[in-house]
Amino acid sequence: MRTGPLTLVDGVRHDAVPAHDRGLLYGDGVFRTLRVYQGRPRWWSAHMLKLAEDAARLAIPAPLPTLWAREVAALLPEAPAECVLKLILTRGTGLRGYRPTTQPEARRILQISAWPEHIEAVAARGAAVHLCDLRLAEQPRLAGIKHLNRLENVLAAREWRDGEADEGILLDHRGRVVCGVSSNVFLVRQGRLLTPRLTRCGVAGVARHLVLKLAAQLKLPSQEADIGLDELKEADEVFLTNSLIRLWPVRRLDDRHWGEARLAAELRRLLDDAA
């Protein structure tokens, strides 16, 4: 098995981008991270839709899903049946300075890497979560977009050592819960499903969208709302979502411990069955 990632840049086997790529210079681009299971990318249509929506908000022309699909198909035969697929779209090569060209030639980067073995173990025992000191800045123009400028997440992820926590919770400057460092947050309280409103900052993930869709199908009352830290700690259940972990129940946050997470377990089973 290969130890390094498999990479395509604009359809060509390569492991580098030009030094003037705007994704490298400014974080000017968007990305998606997908689970490949039994040789197939999961939730493909939802990821393609979200990638196109995020690109459109940044005025980056998005390739057709059929082009992505052809390039993914070229890499998958060399990959393990379960692995991680990352799709990156940058505004491409540009001249010096922040102002982009009016007719960008977007660059596609595909990367396949090894599956993180700890994911299922954490799902089974529940996640230990660190409350991050870093506070997210508000920028409604970027809220919800999975853009390449992720320095806040990088700094937040440095706050705990390996083994101390499985994920971190991020608040905004007013103390409202926004998301995890690499996940979205849900809480269950008195039979209602709540998730933070992401109109000021944070990333709206595909798994988050699917959970809200499943809640509607189950006729489970759900709401996007402003959520304080005390409200999170008073919840009956707390869980995290993203496309790789699918759903992790939270076992511990600071001095708050949770027991069995029945709704989280049911939603995780349904997520694993979702196309």
How many angstroms separate the CA atoms of 38 and 23, rounded? 31
**Whether pLDDT at 7 is above 80:** yes
Q: Which residues contact 209 (CB under 8 A, 6 or more apart)?
A: 46, 50
Of the residues 88, 115, 142, the one at which a domain ends: 115
**237 lies in some domain:** yes
Backbone angles phi, psi at 73, to 5 degrees: -60, -30
Q: Are residues 59 and 169 in the same domain?
A: no
Structure-block tokens of residue 217: 């199908």
pLDDT of the residue at 253: 97
pLDDT of the residue at 3: 53
Q: Are residues 174 and 67 in the same domain?
A: no
Q: Are residues 134 and 105 in the same domain?
A: no
Neighbouring-strand partners of residue 179: 170
**Whether pLDDT at 96 is above 90:** no
pLDDT of the residue at 116: 97
**92 lies in some domain:** yes
**Whether pLDDT at 252 is above 80:** yes
Q: Are residues 224 and 91 in the same domain?
A: no
pLDDT of the residue at 30: 98
The pLDDT tens digits of the residues spanning 65-94 come to 999 999 999 999 999 999 999 999 999 998
Q: Are residues 44 and 132 in the same domain?
A: no
pLDDT of the residue at 153: 98
Q: What one-character DSSP code corresponds to residue 140?
A: T
Residue in 148, 156, 110, 109 with CA at minimum distance from that of residue 132:
156
How many structural domains is the chain composed of? 2
Structure-block tokens of residue 190: 């008195």
**1 lies in some domain:** no
Q: Which has more confidence, 167 or 274?
A: 167
Q: Which residues contact 195 (CB under 8 A, 6 or more apart)?
A: 184, 185, 186, 187, 208, 211, 212, 222, 223, 224, 225, 227
Q: Are residues 131 and 232 in the same domain?
A: yes
The pLDDT tens digits of the residues spanning 166-194 come to 999 999 999 999 999 999 999 999 999 99
Give the CATH number for residue 216. 3.20.10.10
pLDDT band with cut points at 50, 70 and 90 for residue 95: confident
The pLDDT tens digits of the residues spanning 218-247 come to 999 999 999 999 999 999 999 999 999 999
Q: What one-character DSSP code corresponds to residue 201?
A: S
Q: Are residues 133 and 101 in the same domain?
A: no
The pLDDT tens digits of the residues spanning 192-223 come to 999 999 999 999 999 999 999 999 999 999 99
The pLDDT tens digits of the residues spanning 142-170 come to 999 999 999 999 999 999 998 999 999 99
Q: Are residues 130 and 111 in the same domain?
A: no
- Domain residues for the domain of 19 are 6-115
Q: Are residues 87 and 30 in the same domain?
A: yes
**Whether pLDDT at 14 is above 80:** yes
Q: Are residues 256 and 127 in the same domain?
A: yes
Of the residues 99, 115, 131, the one at which a domain ends: 115
**Mean pLDDT of all residues belonging to the chain:** 96
pLDDT of the residue at 194: 98
Q: Are residues 143 and 236 in the same domain?
A: yes
pLDDT band with cut points at 50, 70 and 90 for residue 1: very low
Of the residues 83, 115, 147, the one at which a domain ends: 115
Q: Are 5 and 113 in contact (CB under 8 A)?
A: yes
Count of residues for the chain? 275
